[in-house]
A and B are shown apart, each in its own frame.
Chain A
Amino acid sequence: MALFGPSHAATLADNCLVRNEWICPEYVRSRQDEILSALGEHVWITVASMVVGTLVAFGLALVARRWRRLEGWILGSSTVLYTIPSLALFSLLYPLMLSFTGSGLTSTTVIVGLVLYSLTILVRGILTGLDSAPADVRDAAVGMGYGRGRLLWRVELPLALPTIFASLRVAAVSTVALTTVGLVVGHGGLGNLIFQGLRSNFKPEVLTASVLCVVLALVADVVLLGLQRMATPWRRRAA
């Protein structure tokens, strides 16, 4: 027994988990599953929010273009939503989701909140982009017999892509960061780990999750930049 005693004590003392150090590879190794599942939830919530947010924003932008009287109203109400602090918005959505879906403590609550936030940035970006097509280009298309739909799809939308992608990047980066607050309804992805680390005063958990969050935001930015390059090949040729 005496033979194993000292070596056991030594492994305890050497362990960065035991010393509660900020940077701890041992933490990442031993809690790999937990980290990956939090990361997975974070990515899923972000991607779902961005996809739904983009579709809804596109619809709202088309409505605002079709009926210009509604434009101020749509932009105004999305700005009001953006002003409401995230923690409050998720908490307010909780009873609503509870009455509609039977449970408020779900990732759907977080996704709905994040979609509402992204609308402010996305509707504005899509509207600015679609309106930026030069008048003579539009006239030329109409002269060639383009109808409203084809004009939008073949002329205005491609020309709007750089502006739309710029707003998508801003929205994606803030969505990744805001997802953490979803912990208030139990689904904050990496935010759950940060909160757990706070409660147990566990430094490596907090730092690892925080760094992963920032890395995820950067990855989202780079991925959207790549998508933009692929969607607008003519700009690369010109440059």
Chain B
Amino acid sequence: MDVLIDAFGWLADGENWRGPNGVPTRLLEHVELTVASVVIACLIAIPLALWLGHIGKGGTLAINVSNVGRAVPTFAVLVLLFLTPLGLSVWSTIIALILFAIPPILTNTYVGMREVDRDAVDAARGMGMDGMQLLRKVELPLAAPLLMNGVRLAAVQVVATATIAALVAAGGLGRIITSGFGRQDYPQMVAGAMLVAALALIVEGLMEWLQHRLDPMRRARRIRVRRAPDVIEAVTGS
């Protein structure tokens, strides 16, 4: 257990919280890599999944992309991309992170779109909505919980993959683990692992909160059930 105590000692040492190898710098790198990759993956996967779900095609692709993503080791992809001419730039890491963030978003959004109540879609069409209105006002709000679930899974996946990226080239908190491992400084390795685990759990919690907050149906339910008088006030402006 000495390693564990020494790990806490490492975390308590102010020297480890300063400079280019300090915890704040590594944390910022990790967060930057994560945010950039998740945002780009969302920009690619969400429109594609909404479109496929809207026209009701490409289900095999949207589902199987997740199965393939699970079978391919993230570490292998990181190393393979690093050995390409892209390797030395940060883009090889970001591309790998995006590749592993796309499957959960694509699959969950697609399933969310397909699970939208067909009666609601028929009713919306009967009311004269065109494709775009149907997507914006009916399908997207109803698919939102699963869409956000996909983004949450992707964010957690990217935090984990960005950690492994430190074995290859990238910065981030994983660097603290790998440099501890490389120098056989095991307290540092364990301290880094604690920081990474804490970050992952915080991201998971934050995304869960966001998922809850951004669920349009939750707001609709609350308005209908509990806050009906307030809404009438708000709508009529009284």
Q: Which residues of A contact B (CB under 8 A)?
A: 80, 83-89, 91-92, 94-95, 98-99, 104, 170, 173-174, 176-178, 180-181, 183-184, 191, 194-195, 197-198, 201, 203, 206-207, 209-210, 213-214, 217-218, 221
Contacts and interface: CB of A to CB of B under 8 A. Distances in A.
B120 interface: no
Contacts of B197: 84-85, 88-89, 92
Secondary structure at the A interface, as helix, strand, loop or mixed, is helix
A88 B167 CA distance: 12
Contacts of B193: 87-89, 91-92
B190 A177 contact: no
A91 B181 contact: yes
Contact of B75 (A84, A104, A194, A203): A194
Contact of A177 (B73, B166, B174, B180): B73
A92 to B, nearest CB: 5
Given A85-B197, A95-B190, A210-B80, 4 more contacts: A88-B192, A91-B190, A95-B3, A184-B167
Listed residue (A104, A176, A184, A209) with the most chain B CB atoms within 10 angstroms of its CB: A184
A167 to B, nearest CB: 13
Contacts of A95: 1, 3-4, 7, 186, 190
Contacts of A194: 73, 75-76, 79
B83 A203 contact: yes
Interface string B131-163: 000000000000000000000000010011101
B23 interface: no
The 10 closest A-B CB pairs, nearest first, are A85-B160, A91-B193, A95-B3, A210-B76, A217-B71, A88-B196, A88-B193, A177-B73, A180-B73, A85-B163
- Counting chain B residues whose Cβ lies within 8 A of the other chain, the interface size class is 35 or more
A173 B174 contact: no
Interface of B: 1, 3-4, 7, 67, 70-77, 79-80, 82-83, 156, 159-161, 163-164, 166-168, 174, 177-178, 180-181, 186, 189-190, 192-194, 196-197, 200-201, 204
B201 A80 contact: yes
Contact of A174 (B70, B166, B186, B196): B70
A194 B200 CA distance: 25
8 contacts: A85-B200, A87-B177, A92-B193, A92-B194, A99-B1, A191-B75, A198-B83, A214-B71
Nearest to A203: B83
A98 B190 CA distance: 12
B74 A177 contact: yes
A178 to B, nearest CB: 7
A83 B156 contact: yes
A87 B67 contact: no
A221 to B, nearest CB: 8
A217 B76 CA distance: 13
Contacts of B164: 85-87, 181
